[in-house]
Structure 1
């Protein structure tokens, strides 16, 4: 299927590794020019080197998303260097696992505020696109109780709510806004891979809760993101797409 993405421009925040980098590969394979950032210049350089095989235009930068001015300035600069922005996807996230004020503030500062700031910075460029698309990233921890009270769960639920409100507000501008909500995803060196090595009993207990019998992988999530971001999904906005192998047991209205 041709997703109609060739020649489009995407800005991906926090995408030098994990699902973000997998999404960069999925989009670049479709002919999308990519701008990505992360905290570490070394990880950005490695990501750009890996993406170079796709033959698309690439822009990279080291950015601390908790620095509001630097974050917004990089998005504007990236859009100018790419020649526009059709797709904006923020991947930055944080989970302290600590249910106190400092823990909540850390997640809010590193996850929720950068989401809002990034959207605001990208909007002037998305409004000039004939197929503007924002994709946000939540978690199944947001839709069912998971490992007790915590900022990550609650603020990822806020991401879903914020996405729905953005979709309503900016639909008249032709900008679609949708949320992807992954369940457990296992990627080399990432959280569930580390848990598998260090906490095998807990890892196995999670597997037993997934009807498909396995965790997802980054490529599966990335391809779903690319599809949702693409013009092929031109009538989809305000949606929350749960991709979890049946891990959550609620009815997905």
Structure 2
């Protein structure tokens, strides 16, 4: 099925590793032009070189999404470079897990406010697009209380509420949806690190999933790209859980 993404312009935050990298590559493979950002300059340059070498039209920028001015400037520069914005995928997380106050500020500024600021800056372009789409990457930790209860889980839950509100407020103009991944395994990621350094906890987490495995970034990216696509033209305000039946709550 043609996802109607050829020539569309997408912004992706956190686009060099894991889910974000898979989203950037997936959108580009479908023919979209993709501007992405991440914190580490070397990683940005590497991904940009690899994807351009594969014939994709991508542009990478190194920035800290907690820097509101830098983030807003990146959105504006990307819109100017490509001539608009059709899709925003807010993917960055501080991954600040724990109960202490030192986890609340980065979770608020990065997980939640970077999403709000990116959307605010991109919104005029999304409205002008005619097919504007916002996808926020949340987490199953926002759906149920688990080991990431506290700042991380709360902010991920807030992202779902935020996108639902956007969907209502922008209905008929711009679509907004949230995707909540389950545990996702990739080299250099959290679960890869735990597999190496805390195998007992990793085994416990793995054992919770009835599929017997964790997701790949590409499996999560499929949900993001599908919702971002104009093919999903009547899907807005949706919370898509992609977790291999890890969580057991019933969405009514």
TM category (shorter chain) comes to over 0.9
Secondary structure of the 1:206 match is: helix
Contact 2:98 2:149 in 1 (8 A): no
Question: How many angstroms apart in 1 are the aligned matches of 2:148 and 2:242?
Answer: 22
| Structure 1 position 169, deviation (Å) | 0.7
Question: How many angstroms apart in 1 are the aligned matches of 2:129 and 2:148?
Answer: 42
Contact 1:13 1:92 in 2 (8 A): yes
Relative to structure 1, is the Cα distance of residues 46 and 148 closer, same or farther in structure 2, using a 3 angstrom cutoff? Answer: closer
User: What pairs with 1:185-196 in structure 2 (closer than 5 Å)?
Assistant: 185-196=184-195
Contact 2:176 2:237 in 1 (8 A): yes
Q: Please, which moves more after superposition, 48-57 or 130-139?
A: 48-57
User: What pairs with 1:36-75 in structure 2 (closer than 5 Å)?
Assistant: 36-75=36-75
User: What pairs with 1:173-192 in structure 2 (closer than 5 Å)?
Assistant: 173=173, 175-192=174-191
Secondary structure of the 2:164 match is: helix
Question: How many angstroms apart in 1 are the aligned matches of 2:197 and 2:7?
Answer: 43
Q: TM-score, normalised by structure 1?
A: 0.96
Question: How many angstroms apart in 2 are the aligned matches of 1:88 and 1:216?
Answer: 23
The residue that corresponds to 1:116 in the other structure is 116
Q: Please, which moves more after superposition, 147-156 or 223-232?
A: 147-156
| Structure 1 position 245, deviation (Å) | 0.5
| Structure 1 position 148, deviation (Å) | 6.1
Contact 2:28 2:58 in 1 (8 A): no
Question: How many angstroms apart in 1 are the aligned matches of 2:25 and 2:56?
Answer: 11
Q: Which runs of 5+ in 2 are unaligned?
A: none
Q: Which runs of 5+ in 1 are unaligned?
A: none
Question: How many angstroms apart in 1 are the aligned matches of 2:141 and 2:149?
Answer: 10
Question: How many angstroms apart in 1 are the aligned matches of 2:149 and 2:179?
Answer: 22
The residue that corresponds to 2:234 in the other structure is 235
Question: How many angstroms apart in 1 are the aligned matches of 2:217 and 2:107?
Answer: 23
| Structure 1 position 55, deviation (Å) | 2.2
User: What pairs with 1:19-34 in structure 2 (closer than 5 Å)?
Assistant: 19-34=19-34
Question: How many angstroms apart in 2 are the aligned matches of 1:42 and 1:149?
Answer: 32
The residue that corresponds to 2:92 in the other structure is 92
Contact 1:36 1:61 in 2 (8 A): yes
Contact 1:134 1:177 in 2 (8 A): yes
The residue that corresponds to 1:142 in the other structure is 142
Contact 2:135 2:224 in 1 (8 A): yes
Question: How many angstroms apart in 2 are the aligned matches of 1:50 and 1:223?
Answer: 20
Q: Please, which moves more after superposition, 160-169 or 222-231?
A: 222-231
Contact 2:138 2:178 in 1 (8 A): yes
Relative to structure 1, is the Cα distance of residues 131 and 148 closer, same or farther in structure 2, using a 3 angstrom cutoff? Answer: closer
The residue that corresponds to 1:221 in the other structure is 220
Relative to structure 1, is the Cα distance of residues 32 and 54 closer, same or farther in structure 2, using a 3 angstrom cutoff? Answer: farther
The residue that corresponds to 2:105 in the other structure is 105
What's the CA shift string for 1:173-232, capped at 9, x where partnerless?
Answer: 2x1100000000001111111111111121111122111111000011112211111011
Question: How many angstroms apart in 2 are the aligned matches of 1:130 and 1:148?
Answer: 38
Contact 1:57 1:82 in 2 (8 A): no
Question: How many angstroms apart in 1 are the aligned matches of 2:204 and 2:194?
Answer: 11
| Structure 1 position 142, deviation (Å) | 0.6
